[in-house]
Structure 1
Amino acid sequence: MSAQKIHHVVPDASPPPPSSLYSHAVEAAGWLYVTGQLPSDPDAPEADLPSGIEAQAELCFKNLSRILAHTGYVYDDTVFVRIYLSEFDRDFAAFNTVYARYFRQDGLRLPSRTTIGVAKLGRGALVEIDLVGYKNR
C-alpha cells in the first residue's frame, strides 16, 4: 500500500516560472519535500533579484517560511537542508549569518545540511535552498 501524497501549491509563495512544472512541496507519510527556492519576491515575482547574499537568502527563507506555514510544518521539523551558492567562497560566511536566524544553534536541533558551490543558478541568483521536513503524524 503506497502512502498518500499531498501536492502543495502555495498561493502566497513565489510562483513557479511558466517553463517549470512542479509543486512547491510534496508531502508523503510525514515527510515534506520542499522544492528549491530562489530569491524571488513572492509579492513581486517578476521584480529584479536584490543584490547581495544576505538579501537574497532572506527572500529564499521568506518563500520557505510561507510554504512551511501552508503545509503545517515549522523549521524545527526540518531534517535536511541543501544550499546552492553561485559564489561559494565569497558568500558562505555571510549566508550562514542569515541561516542562523532560522535554525536553532543549540546543536541538538540543527538539520543535516549540504552546501554546494555551483556555476550558475536560475535568474542569475546567488543562492537557492531546498529542504526536507518530517513530522510523525
Structure 2
Amino acid sequence: MTTITRHMKTRINHRIVEVDGMLHFGGLIADDLGLDMQGQTAQICAKIDALLAEVGSSKEKLVTAMLYITDFDQKEGMNAAWLDWLAADDLPTRATIGVANLGKDVLIEVVVSAVC
C-alpha cells in the first residue's frame, strides 16, 4: 500500500510530498532576486539543505533535479554554485531547461527529488 505524507502546506501546494520513502519538492526560487544566477542558485541550494534536514534527509540523498533558467548566458554561474554545493560523488541526475519567464527578476527555479 502506498503511503503519502504531505509536508509544509502553502496556499497552492505542499512544499514536500513524501511517497514510500521518496521526497518530491515543489519549485524553489531565491529570496534575494537582485542576485545574479550564481547567487540565486546558491540561495536555493541553501533552502534545499534546510528543507531536506526538516524531513530527515540530506543533499547526499538527492536523486534528480530540474533547473529552469531564463538566461543560458548565466549557466556557468549556476553550474559553479551547484558544484560548490554538491560533492562530485553525490551529483543527482539533472536537466537544465530554458524558459522565457519565471516571474519578475527570477532567473532560476529548482525542483528536486530525494530519498529519506
TM-score calculated relative to the size of structure 2: 0.90
Aligned equivalents of 2:80, 2:95: Cα separation in 1: 16
1:104 and 2:95 correspond:
no
1:93 and 2:85 correspond:
no
Runs of 4+ residues over 6 Å off in structure 1? none
Greater fraction helix: 2
Cα offset, 1:134, TM superposition: 1.7
Task: Show structure 1 runs of 5+ residues with no match.
Answer: 11-15, 42-48
1:35 and 2:26 correspond:
yes
Cα offset, 1:5, TM superposition: 1.2
Residues 4-83 of structure 1 correspond to what in structure 2 (within 5 A)? 4-9=3-8, 16=10, 20-40=11-31, 49-83=33-67
- % identical aligned pairs: 26
Cα offset, 1:50, TM superposition: 2.2
Q: Matched residue of 1:7: which SS? A: strand
Task: Show structure 2 runs of 5+ residues with no match.
Answer: none
Letter in 2 for 1:85: I
Answer yes or no: is the 8 Å Cα contact 2:65–2:111 preserved in 1: yes
Give the CA RMSD over aligned residues: 1.6
Greater fraction strand: 2
Which of the pair has the greater relative contact order for Cα pairs under 8 Å at 6+ separation?
2
Letter in 2 for 1:23: H
Q: Give the paired residue count.
A: 116
